[in-house]
Structure 1
């Protein structure tokens, strides 16, 4: 049976060359371009035979990590059907374990994997010229290729389970945000490095960090041996990654074979927008509805546009007061993080009477709370991921990057956690749907001012230890830098979890009062 599946896989590859003349020309043209690109990549690697070991290490680890991430992201955002979907082989009655193994082996026979093998072999040849044992180079190639192949199989299965027929412009927008989160910070970081005939120290530190991650461990094995580093840790991580992916693939095969595929038509999800992208759960539906409001309602749009202006305004008085520009460059980003976390503090009131859908349908509080945070996270995380390295580059000292990250994480996530409570416990009247966002209703109580101030002040108070560590990091204390990073993440996520939990309980208990508030404002 295994041989039969492999023959089918090879037949599918050659079957791409059949069809009308136009199709054959396009396929052949694409293959020629791919062969040319592969030859160029192999030639570029082979020219590194005489290069310094650090340069080869940086190229192979960074390039290998990027390729591994590509194998993970391509199935999630591509719209190609998987020819090796386990459900296609359900009628053969094979044991699930054997079927998972056969399909994993068949997944190695693909054009991207063949290209990867060719490039990886060239990298192994270069490392052999640098004195690395051939066996270690071969082990790196095997582990790297297996990681990419299994990662593609697992991500293809996940896409088949959860994202079938959900590829849309909204999902493409999410992909663009992911690219921004990854590419822009990396580009700013590389542009800031000082290349003076050798690999910058910061880049080597990034390589060392990637060598201890699942995406870069396999590719770092020969380089670690060449520079005299510890090989056992990357090797352990690489082997553990392959084993974990194999277990995930076995689970995915079992899940696919025991899950009934939903019948679809060619235009089943056309026009559903975010509802076609979000998971089919209560939280997913609330997230989709919130996304539609955030990107379509003028009230949300105006609130979002105020953030960059409010953050930029803080720069002017500081410059006038004589604060050094390199310090002023760091100020707008924490302000933006604070305002981003503060944004959903009255999200229930912006729903107006539409909140009855959540209450009448018996939606759990956690689904409502988490679903409403998705738009802010979808906007805030990419924005901060781009702004933090840019601000650090303007500051001039990349050593403050972890501290600035921790400060922003604490302010942003703490604000989200407190907002999850405030929007349920203390909603206040806002302009109704369709009204001008600048037309605010008259309020007879000070609940609105208290709610706004409580969320913002609470986020600042909870983040005070991280802000202090960040200030010490600016003074050159390396220990404070690490404390600011990990303390900021711990405080931020802790407050977020507590806030979502408390807000969920309050939402379930205050349903009647929320409906009364929505009807009376």
Structure 2
């Protein structure tokens, strides 16, 4: 049976190169990109042959941990079906224990595992130049590969058990967005460090911690030998991790063999978009509908695109008058945080007459207010998470990072809180659905301008203490920078909660007025 499964696995790999022309082209391009990335990684490792053992250890542990974690996250992000799902072998009457071992062995026969194996062999060769025995490097790579394979098998099994009915492009996109939010800031931070032939102090503690985790222990064994460190702990962690993953994999195989997969219907194949991802609650339904608007309606898309452009324009006059680039780099991100929080200040008006669904269904105000904030949170948080590290790398002083985070959190949270009130208390007419976003209807009175100005100015006023402490932090006061961080988080969260509460109460008591407004625009 083992030989049959291995032949089946090889046939599946070869079969990936068959099919229609577009599929073959995509597969070949993906293989070429993977080969190029593997070759670049091997060359980067080779260039570390003359580096100190500490630098080699840091790069190996960080890179190996990222690769191992990727095997765990790939099934969640890709959302693909496992061709070697244990349930496919249920008809053969196989025992769970030997089947788990055979499928785990077949997991080594894959292109990503071969790529990691090539990188691992290169790492072992370079460690040999640092005096590490080849047997130690080989054992380390075998443990690392086994960890990657078992992680992938376990996560694929969990995905097939719990995400099959809820899997969709939107869910995969959320996982990919989460990875982007984590990877990009970390990459910017690492690229901004000054290595100069030694490990930066900011990374030494992180490397030591990763060396004692399941994702980095196997990769840290050669470095522990080369630097005369404690080898026993990484070895024990790596072996214990393999044992734990193996037992979990065996348990999942037993569960899968005794679980009947619910057949799919045509409705499930078609999917309901964001409604399949959002919770089955009034707030979840409103969030799903709002996400569809924000990602498809030109009026929303134009507002989102204008935010970074407006923030970038603020730096032009400062550069013209001679303000240093390091200081100017700190300006656009707070402006982006303020404008992103300001965007939903009139979101109820964009619903037009569709708002009757909320009113007639008796939707609670909290569900409406929270559901409408989900799209801007999914957009604003990743944008700020990426923009803040980029700004700090240009500025050059990472000690100011807490103050920058506090300022952005305060401006973003307070603007969202005030927008939650403004969109219910003072909505104003906007271009109807399907019309040009640059075509604004005629307004009577100044309620629209007042609502925009109050949200913007109110946010700045409420954040004034945080801005002051951040200014002191820019001058070199470390305590003021930390104070700006905590005060910014508290201010943003507090105003957001209060704003949602007030907006919810007004929405629940103003159904007639809201319907009257919707019918009059």
TM range (shorter): 0.7 to 0.9
CA distance in 2, matches of 1:188, 1:237: 30
CA contact (8 A) 1:75 1:156 kept: no
CA distance in 1, matches of 2:98, 2:339: 51
* 1:306 shift after superposition: 3.0
Q: 1:259 to 1:19 in 2, by over 3 A?
A: closer
Q: 1:7 to 1:226 in 2, by over 3 A?
A: same
Q: 1:408 to 1:44 in 2, by over 3 A?
A: closer
CA distance in 1, matches of 2:442, 2:95: 66
CA contact (8 A) 1:214 1:238 kept: yes
* 1:474 shift after superposition: 1.6
**3-state DSSP of counterpart to 1:268:** helix
CA distance in 2, matches of 1:256, 1:463: 57
CA contact (8 A) 2:75 2:152 kept: no
CA contact (8 A) 2:71 2:148 kept: no
CA RMSD of aligned residues (A): 5.1
Q: CA-to-partner distance for each residue in 1:237-277, whole Å, 9 max, x for gaps?
A: 9899889989998699869977863513499327x655566
Q: 1:137 to 1:320 in 2, by over 3 A?
A: same
- The question of 1:342 aligning with 2:348 is answered no
CA contact (8 A) 2:79 2:172 kept: no
CA contact (8 A) 1:365 1:507 kept: yes
CA contact (8 A) 2:154 2:248 kept: no
- Aligned pair count reads 511
Q: Equivalent residue for 2:377?
A: 377
1:25-424 equivalent positions in 2, closer than 5 A = 45=45, 48=48, 51-85=51-85, 88=88, 105=104, 109-111=108-110, 112-113=112-113, 116=116, 119-120=119-120, 123=123, 142=143, 145-146=146-147, 149-150=150-151, 153-154=154-155, 157-158=158-159, 161-162=162-163, 167-168=168-169, 177=177, 181-182=181-182, 184-186=184-186, 188-194=188-194, 196-199=196-199, 207=207, 216=216, 219-220=219-220, 223=223, 261=262, 263-265=264-266, 268-269=269-270, 274=274, 282-319=282-319, 323-363=323-363, 365-424=365-424
CA distance in 2, matches of 1:102, 1:160: 20
**3-state DSSP of counterpart to 1:16:** helix
CA distance in 2, matches of 1:208, 1:494: 37
Q: 1:58 to 1:93 in 2, by over 3 A?
A: same
Q: Structure 1: any 5+ residue segments left out of the alignment? A: none
Q: Structure 2: any 5+ residue segments left out of the alignment? A: none
* 1:179 shift after superposition: 6.4
Q: 1:508 to 1:354 in 2, by over 3 A?
A: same
* 1:350 shift after superposition: 1.4
Q: 1:16 to 1:100 in 2, by over 3 A?
A: closer
Q: 1:477 to 1:373 in 2, by over 3 A?
A: same
CA distance in 1, matches of 2:240, 2:368: 37
* 1:208 shift after superposition: 6.1
Q: CA-to-partner distance for each residue in 1:193-233, whole Å, 9 max, x for gaps?
A: 45644455566576568668875566457657866889999
CA distance in 1, matches of 2:493, 2:242: 29
Q: 1:136 to 1:19 in 2, by over 3 A?
A: closer
Q: 1:49 to 1:390 in 2, by over 3 A?
A: closer
* 1:336 shift after superposition: 0.8
CA distance in 2, matches of 1:248, 1:509: 52
Q: 1:391 to 1:240 in 2, by over 3 A?
A: farther
**3-state DSSP of counterpart to 1:354:** helix
CA distance in 2, matches of 1:427, 1:33: 50
Q: 1:231 to 1:337 in 2, by over 3 A?
A: farther
Q: Equivalent residue for 1:430?
A: 430
